[in-house]
Amino acid sequence: MTTTATASRTISMLEAIHDALDVALETDPTVFELGEDIQDPKGGGFGIHKGLSTKYGLDRVRCTPISEQAIMGAAVGAAIAGMRPVAEIMLMNFISVAAD
């Protein structure tokens, strides 16, 4: 049995989420993101989506109005239709609004 050493790197949680979204968008054409101000140049409130709309296009990284209900409603509808939405609610304070 052969063992291969792999290099590891330390990254922040934001970088880990960004990298995971990048991999998901690259490997699965049914994955798309929706949320407030997530397109470039800003890439969302914390920059998690930075560069992804440039790399994957505006159809796969979609900006929404400031309406948590609309974001979650669109995500649920897309999931029912077979897509794999990633809905971003910018601040946890507003997740209960989406439950309406």
Say which CATH architecture domain 13-98 belongs to: 3-Layer(aba) Sandwich (3.40)
Burial class (CB in 10 A: 0-12, 13-18, 19+), 71: buried
Counting residues of the chain whose pLDDT is more than 70, the rounded percentage is 95
Task: State pLDDT tens for residues 41-77.
Answer: 999 989 999 999 999 999 999 999 999 999 999 999 9
Q: pTM for this one?
A: 0.86
Beta carbons within 8 Å of 43's beta carbon, 6+ residues apart: 49, 50, 51, 52, 53
Residue 30 has pLDDT above 90, yes or no: yes
Q: Determine the Cα–Cα distance for residues 4 and 88; give it in Å rounded to an integer.
A: 37
Position 99 confidence tier, pLDDT thresholds 50, 70, 90: confident
Task: Report domain extents, the chain.
Answer: 13-98
Place of tokens 């993101």: 33
